[in-house]
Amino acid sequence: MNNYRSIAALLCAGVLASCDAFEKTAVQQIGEPVPAGAQIKFFHFGVNAPGVNFYANTVKMTAISSATGIESTTGVVYGGVGSGGFYTGIAPGTITLAGKIAATIDKDLAISNVSQAVATGKYYSYYLSGIYNTTAKTVEAFVVEDAFGAAIDYTQAYVRFVHAISNAAPMTLYAKNTTTLVEMAVGAEISYKGAGAFTAVPAGVYDLGTRFAGVSTNAISRTAVSFSAGRVYTIGSRGDITVVSTTLANRPILDNTANR
């Protein structure tokens, strides 16, 4: 379903100057028909980095339209996911993925570049990560494969952890069922720019936390997260691990995004 909705959004943007149904996530520039090969999501987890449009080689993969149908200069901002969180079709092969500044100042300046081989039938996520370098105007980035597989037990949810905080040590994700109070580790310990395996979790509502090795308290917490049976989720960490505020945008946060 994610694939169909993503393709619908892309086609709508290519035909119309302004498409109300997909106003917030429509792609304004399409270089060729949507390929049926690989699928990719785009995450902006680069702390303090400007809003961007995401590119694959020279093809713009995400953009945001305004009420006038003219592309917004806001782009996908920190904490956001391109294309409304849906996958975008991309031709297989080795490609250069980039986040390019959407604002008028430094318009289309690439703040990240990653070369990545993508294959037909596979799913990927591209993350801007770490902390923005205001002098060099760059931010780190990485790609992980979303290997959730074809065989799904529809009595279970599937969850994995992606570590995108550059100044945080390796962490393990824990999930505590708010009804049974049973707690489980969701996969293994994950280092920065790493992704855990999708792990079966009974459907329910969970309090989540990530912990450093040998520590019993959470480094990052998030409460009351629902996991539905038959769905697949990524819990991604973002922010600056040194920030202790509970309100600042750059504090450590656990993001929850459905893969399917």
176-215: per-residue pLDDT in tens? 999 999 999 999 999 999 999 999 999 999 999 999 999 9
What Å distances lie between residue 223 and 30, 54, 119, 209, 218, CA to CA?
A: 39, 31, 36, 8, 12
Cα 138 from Cα 107, distance rounded (Å):
14
Name the pLDDT band for 108 (thresholds 50, 70, 90): very high
Name the pLDDT band for 10 (thresholds 50, 70, 90): very low
Task: Give the global pTM.
Answer: 0.85
What CATH number is given for 156-258 in this structure? 2.60.40.1120
State the DSSP code for 7: H
Residue 178 burial (CB < 10 Å; 0-12/13-18/19+)?
Answer: middle
Identify the pLDDT of residue 185.
Answer: 98
Per DSSP, the three-state class of 95 is: strand
Per DSSP, the three-state class of 203 is: coil
Q: Model confidence over 73-107: pLDDT tens digits? A: 999 999 999 998 999 999 999 999 999 999 999 99
Domain ranges of the chain: 2-145, 156-258
Give me the mean pLDDT over the 133-146 stretch. Answer: 98
Q: Would you say residue 18 has pLDDT above 90?
A: no
SS (H, E, C) 21-50: HHCCCCCCCCCCCCCCCEEEEEEECCECCC
Q: Would you say residue 17 has pLDDT above 50?
A: no
Identify the pLDDT of residue 7.
Answer: 37
Note whether 2-145 and 156-258 share their fold: yes
Q: Do 27 and 9 meet the contact criterion of CB atoms below 8 Å apart? A: yes
What is the CATH T-level fold of the domain 2-145, as seen in this structure? Answer: Immunoglobulin-like (2.60.40)
